[in-house]
Chains A and B, each alone.
Chain A
Amino acid sequence: MEDYADSNVGEYSNSTLSIKRHVRFFRMCLQALPSSYSSLDTSRLTVAFFALSGLDVLNSLDVIESEKQDIINWIYSLQVLPDPENTDESLSRCGFRGSSTIGLTFNPSEKDTATFHPYDWGHVAMTYTGLASLLILGDDLSRVNMPAIVAGLKALQLEDGSFSALENGSENDMRFVYCACCISYMLQDWSGINKDKAVQFIQNSLTHDFGIGQGPGQECHGGTTFCGIASLVLLDRLETAFTQKQIDGIKKWCLFRQQTGFNGRPNKKTDTCYSFWVGSTLKLLKVFNLIDFRWNRNYILSTEDTGMGGFAKWPDFHPDALHAYLGLCGLSMMGEEGLAPIHPALNISQRAADHLLSIHNKWRDGADS
């Protein structure tokens, strides 16, 4: 904070963040979206994650205290469970769905009650955001079918080390490597990932200008650079995957993304979400303090919707749950007053990450006794 206190950079340097307004925005996202959001029909769980984690970072989860159990049940109803009639073959389908749009009967329990559905699959991004949301809500993951999820992951890794999102009909890239690493870390079970291959895929995706792309040869990008570096941190391989020169190059590439806020690729426009994607990468590389806090804060605040709350990617654009959440995370990393600290690798609050740690300890104690 001392960095912005003494200087007036940009027109928002004296503005304070309205916690209330953003709480209202995330509550609205959790309740209902207008029909123009129908393209999010299969990924409603990711919107729920942004809203829940947003409330968490705003230290305001208490406003949904009375709804927590209902939300937890709704998330569990999205778990793809093994088919009791054909457990082995159905394991590769397990994980979480993003919504109930496939048409199964609502079932929040850990036991499968439905008959087999030929087009029902989990999706790694939904499994990751589902588990993260449960942690944020204080759930103990007791209804998660962990062996099934790990088996589901195993089916999704390709020969080149990358991951698909689901067994049928998905591209494979760095985003899903990151989701797979988060899931394995949360469940403390890495048997669903061939770690060496995953690391190799990340190494092969380092570009000539020292960012990381969606895959080998592809242009480097702030989001995929985050996915690659955060995966290595979760895999505990950051120190060995790259040489010191390469790490120095990645730091520099990330620092050069700062314009006022951050852009996601060289010569592209600044966008609120990269204050998180690039900022947290710098945090993981332990050089976040080298950025200019004042300009970054000023940019994020310039994209705030001062009417309905939330942040947009650009000033005077409509806010959305993703940018609203990542904007807050960007501010939190700079110590903004009223915001909870975040765990940059898992992209959840430190409090939720601590809760995860307590669950891990319980599992360990349970296994020991």
Chain B
Amino acid sequence: MAAQEIDADSGSEFDDDLALQFYRDRPEWNDIIPIPQDDGPNPVVRIAYSERFQDVFDYLRAVLKADERSERALDLTKDAVELNAANYTVWHYRRVLLQALKKDLREEMRYISEIIQDHPKNYQVWHHRRAIVEWLKDPSNELNFTESILEKDSKNYHAWSHRQWVLQTFKLWDGELDYVHKLLLEDLRNNSAWNQRYFVMSNTTGFSDESVVDREVKYAIEFIKKAPNNESSWSYLRGVLALRDISSFPGLMQTCQDMYSENVRSPFLLSFIIDIYEEQLESKTFPEDTLLKATQLCDVLIQVDAIRLKYWEYIKRSLTLRFGKQGEA
């Protein structure tokens, strides 16, 4: 989290002749005095930089210090990015240069698209893209672009963050549910896609309208039936019903009980039924055996979800403490 993931491909070799030439050997740079890195007498976590890395960054340090606003500096930032795309100062400097030199931002969009393809999990490159989209005020390529990244990794957090920002900033909600639906058909365990569905719903219709809630409950249940052991679809169901009594939602308890009689023992199913019982216990109008049924389900969970044995014992204990007759606990 705090440190960047290591890019296996950083330090990749350049293939054309000009790029292979060191900056120190280029006549058009001989007016610049390179600045070496000064790490003091006892450097810590020294990196064995390649000769090329040192050369590029010695010159970068020099133009940064002078705050040079030139085409050659802009080219230099490209070489620096190639060696370390996580250097946020290089990206900031590049943005300063793009504006100072009034560069074609569409060209920059093509460039950053390529870089993101190579470094899809790097914070700095996505931030740069966002800045360019903001300057252009043009989100027209963003949904396609994030889609192409999500095709390779449908849970890439950066791509989803960027997509959410675009949807929210430019109000591009139409069609997003279809996209999410397509992803869920490909992988119904894609939690990012479920989250996106919830995100779109909360930002558009919300969950106060009965017909919307009915539709989304049906949607979730359809997926739950296909894979009852899927945490994401159960969480979505719970999220849709967050503002309501789940115990009084028509047909829901029956659906759960049917699954139970069909021998489904998914921890998420059992846990959901316990939650319904708990709600009934809180409402104080419930059949006498509600607590017993809930604690019996805890016993089943202790068997089928053994890694959480202590948790289910704890839930059983706390239900008994809260709702049991005195002495029962």
A binding-site residues for B, Cβ under 8 Å: 29-48, 50-51, 67, 70-71, 73-75, 77, 100-106, 108, 117-119, 121, 123, 125, 129, 165-166, 168-171, 175, 207-209, 213-215, 217-221, 223, 227, 252, 255-256, 258-260, 265-268, 273, 277, 287, 289-292, 295, 320-322
Given pairs A44-B47, A209-B231, A265-B191, 17 additional interface contacts (CB within 8 A): A31-B45, A35-B50, A40-B86, A74-B39, A75-B44, A101-B37, A102-B89, A103-B38, A103-B64, A169-B88, A207-B198, A208-B242, A217-B164, A218-B164, A256-B308, A259-B307, A290-B308
Given A40-B4, A103-B65, A169-B127, are A34 and B43 neighbors across the interface (CB < 8 Å)? Answer: no
A43 engages B84 (CB within 8 Å): no
Decide if B189 is an interface residue (CB 8 Å cutoff).
yes
Decide if B91 is an interface residue (CB 8 Å cutoff).
yes
Decide if B230 is an interface residue (CB 8 Å cutoff).
yes
- Name 26 interchain pairs, CB-CB below 8 A, sorted by A: A34-B47, A35-B48, A36-B6, A38-B53, A38-B84, A39-B4, A40-B6, A41-B49, A47-B3, A48-B45, A67-B42, A71-B42, A73-B40, A100-B38, A103-B62, A119-B64, A168-B92, A175-B1, A209-B195, A220-B195, A258-B308, A259-B307, A265-B192, A273-B1, A291-B310, A292-B310
Shortest CB-to-CB span from B261 to chain A, Å, is 25
With a cutoff of 8 Å between Cβ atoms, the chain A residues found around residue B277 in the complex are none
B binding-site residues for A, Cβ under 8 Å: 1-4, 6-8, 10-11, 35, 37-50, 53, 57, 61-62, 64-65, 67, 83-89, 91-93, 95, 123-124, 126-127, 130, 155, 157, 160-161, 164, 168, 189-192, 195-196, 198-199, 202-203, 230-232, 235-236, 238-239, 242, 306-311, 314
With a cutoff of 8 Å between Cβ atoms, the chain B residues found around residue A266 in the complex are 189, 191, 231-232, 235
With a cutoff of 8 Å between Cβ atoms, the chain B residues found around residue A45 in the complex are 45
A42 engages B87 (CB within 8 Å): yes
Q: Which of A41, A265, A273 has the most CB of B within 10 A?
A: A41
- Leading 4 A-B pairs by shortest Cβ distance: A208-B239, A103-B61, A169-B92, A209-B235
A29 engages B45 (CB within 8 Å): yes
Given A35-B50, A43-B4, A208-B239, are A70 and B314 neighbors across the interface (CB < 8 Å)? Answer: no
Shortest CB-to-CB span from A47 to chain B, Å, is 5
A217 engages B64 (CB within 8 Å): no
Alpha-carbon gap, A86 to B138, bound state (A): 39
Alpha-carbon gap, A41 to B83, bound state (A): 10
